[in-house]
A and B are shown apart, each in its own frame.
Chain A
Amino acid sequence: MAYSEDIKKVFRREGEGLGGSEITLFDRSLVVISGHKGLLSLTETEIVVRLPSGRLGIAGTGLFVRKASPTEIYVEGRISALSYPEEGDS
């Protein structure tokens, strides 16, 4: 991302990485997840993506993956929530 250096400055993390993954949300209808480790589940109401730091749950309606590449996943739909469920959660 172009603004990642600015972000590092704000959080005073110059010379360090920002983390294993990056999630960008556009107006609750588009989500781009970078640095993922694959999909865990895919339904119209919930998509779970595996991240280096755990799992990312995307809840909503009419959800679907429009593009999937080894580094990024593009999700489209009406998004109602992003969550980090624990390993034991269903």
Chain B
Amino acid sequence: MKTVFRVRTHRVVYLLNRLMRAGVSVDRIERKGDLLTFRTSARERLAVERVLTEGGFDRELFGFLGARAFFRGLFSRPFLAVSVLVTLVALFFFNGFVYDVSIRGNRFVNTAEIWAVLSENRVDGFTAKGALDLPRIKREIAALDGVSFASVKVIGTRLEVEVKESLPSVTPDISDYCPISSGYAAVVTRVVAESGTPRVSSGDRVEAGDLLIEPIYAFTEGDAPAPARGEVWGVVTHSLEVVLPAVSVGSVRTGESASRRSVSFFGKSVVDYDPPPYAEYVCEERLLYHGFGVKVTERVYSEIASRTLYHDFDLEARTVLLNAAAELLLSVPCDATPRGTIRVTQKKLDNILYTVLYYTTEQRIDSLSLVP
């Protein structure tokens, strides 16, 4: 503990001699003009002050070093003391709260889930430490799905939550253990079983849904599950039947139509659609303008009505046939190999025109081929 004195004097030799005679030791002596600065131990401070007082020296005690001197200097300035006191009280007050939360260690567990647990336990960014039930928070976080261990602790004013996640469980892909069945009624031509046990062979006739490859492998000790993989090819005859009566009832457009418009501004509707003008109608919607937050759309309502339709078989037979052929070809897989052309049977019976088409292909018939 040291005390620093600053003395205004031109009698430096006299002063130092007085001090030394009084048994005082001074150091860090500096002189600037008639200003002499020196330092002495707190133990000798009173002796120095006595010498300076007796000698009539103009002095200034401007520095305190050491704890006691610090507090003495502090309480000699009320404003400073009050400021320090307020700061200490504020520090003590804020130290009693948690206002920072750190969540670490979660990759798959959603942070929002952990926050939900914290919120339920009244951790909302500014929480009194005394109000925290750390064991309960830890228990509830550890109970979340995918969390195997949780650590919750308060470090200073921060609540640190660290989680260890469960290792992702290895579950077999169920689709691997599904049997491969037939998607068509066909005659099997080829069986390529990569895994599993084939239950059909070339020449077998199968119906749609029949088992082709079973997901098991036959060991000496018994059967064991094994993924069913492979391809089964077969000859499939696709057929389509179209019936056209001479008289039918259908909906046709009357030729009447009306349009309605809607305007929205930044997603908020400004002008809404009026109600449809017809009881039965077909509606088509189109975008007229979209830009600068404005969107204008239009609905065109076309009136429809039921009508009795009379068909002339001689005129329509070819159209019906072409439409049916197109529909049939659309149902055939692209990789199917044709075996001949489309065979057609068309006949009139009791004012009904029957059209039946057959198309034979060789193609994959297993259910895997039907998966997009």
Contact = CB atoms under 8 A, between A and B. Distances in A.
Interface in B24-45: 24-29, 31
Contacts of B25: 67-70
A68 B26 contact: yes
A39 B352 CA distance: 144
Interface in A2-53: 38-42
B16 A68 contact: yes
Given A38-B17, A38-B20, A39-B17, A66 B12 contact: no
A74 B31 CA distance: 15
Interface residues of B, number: 15
Interface in B1-59: 12-13, 16-17, 19-21, 23-29, 31
A8 B25 CA distance: 29
Contacts of A66: 27-29
A70 B13 contact: no
B24 A70 contact: yes
A65 interface: yes
B13 A42 contact: yes
A42 B34 CA distance: 13
B250 to A, nearest CB: 120
B13 A68 contact: no
A66 B38 CA distance: 9
Contacts of B20: 38, 68-70
Contacts of B23: 70
Interface in B292-307: none
B29 A64 contact: yes
Interface of A: 38-42, 64-70, 74
Given A40-B13, A66-B29, A69-B26, 12 more contacts: A39-B16, A39-B17, A41-B13, A42-B13, A64-B31, A65-B29, A67-B27, A67-B28, A68-B16, A68-B25, A70-B23, A74-B27
